[in-house]
Amino acid sequence: MVVMQTFEQSLTELFTELQQLPDSPAPRMKVAIISMPRSGSKFFCDSLTSTGQFGRAREWANTFYLQAYAKLLGVERMEMDRYLQFVMKKTSSANGLFTMNFHVEQYIWWKQRGVDLLKLRFDRIYFIRRKDRIAQALSLVKAKYTNQWSSNVTPSRIVDVEQIKNSVILHALHALSLEEEYFKDNLALQVRRNYYYEDFLQGDECFREVLADCGVTLEDDFVFTCDREIQRNDRDVARIAELKSYLGCDGDDGWRPASQQAG
């Protein structure tokens, strides 16, 4: 029986485990997976991590991670460089790969505070996004309301998606569009390959392409694993359809040119 944890509890357990691990040598290759929120980046990263040859790809720049690290180790004055050195020593795989996933908004947040995550000099940078941005916006709102950022953690509250107002979802959609525009203007030229959530859900070709690009060879019959499940349910699907109808994105709106109207 799997015991569900809150997001905070899962991070405490993670850093407790890392603290007990031996240090690894300096990585030979550093990989960044930049992503939009609610784009399946955890599924993408966990699937690659399951090979044992891609480092431990997590959101190491997430401030909640830093707080968990500081609390567990009794760090009073957080130093980002020291923290990242700790993470690299504890999460690089035996073949010398260190991988960090960060959202565009996390990159912006740190940059505004004088920390440029790309100064880590990543050897490979990939970008994860989602085609259905309305579904993405609803997923983002739900995650913020419930603090359930993946299926394997316990939500802090239950949310009725039918009660989430259109304006709230559209506000999230606007925030996502601003993020994507920032990415295009400031980060896109440094990205090696782009991947869509909807594509890597259909098969493992994207994972194999990334691994091959990083010099990792797998057996043809290797099965990628991930303990996270899709959080979207039938009520979410219905709410997405309702919002698309509200926006006029559901097909025929009834308008016809005068030449085609009945006389």
- pLDDT-above-90 percentage for the chain: 67
pLDDT tens-digit profile of 14-33?
999 999 999 999 999 999 99
Answer whether 51's CB lies under 8 Å from 216's CB: yes
Q: Which residue has the tokens 């999460």?
A: 91
Q: What is the pLDDT of residue 147?
A: 59
Q: What is the pLDDT of residue 230?
A: 66
pLDDT tens-digit profile of 73-125?
888 888 899 999 999 999 999 999 999 999 999 999 999 999 999 999 999 99
Q: What is the pLDDT of residue 84?
A: 95
CA–CA dist 77, 94 (Å, integer)? 31
Q: C-alpha 180: how far from its chain's center?
A: 14
Answer whether 49's CB lies under 8 Å from 55's CB: yes
pLDDT tens-digit profile of 53-80?
999 999 999 999 999 999 988 888 888 9
Q: What is the pLDDT of residue 80?
A: 92
Mean pLDDT of all residues belonging to the chain: 88
Q: 35-57 burial string, b = 16+ CB within 10 Å, else e?
A: bbbbbbbbbbbbbbbbbebbbbb
Q: What are phi and psi of 79, to 5 degrees?
A: -120, 115
Q: Which residue has the tokens 């060879």?
A: 217
The pLDDT confidence band at residue 229, using thresholds 50, 70 and 90, is low
Answer whether 202's CB lies under 8 Å from 176's CB: no
Domains of the chain: 7-248 (3.40.50.300)
Global pTM reads 0.86
Residue 258: pLDDT over 70: no
pLDDT tens-digit profile of 247-257?
988 665 555 56
Residue 41: pLDDT over 50: yes
CA–CA dist 19, 35 (Å, integer)? 27
Answer whether 211's CB lies under 8 Å from 54's CB: yes
How would DSSP label each residue in 111-178? HTTT--GGGG--SEEEEEE-S-HHHHHHHHHHHHHH---STTB--SS---GGGS-HHHHHHHHHHHHH
Residue 5: pLDDT over 80: no
Looking at residues 239-263, what average pLDDT do you find? 70
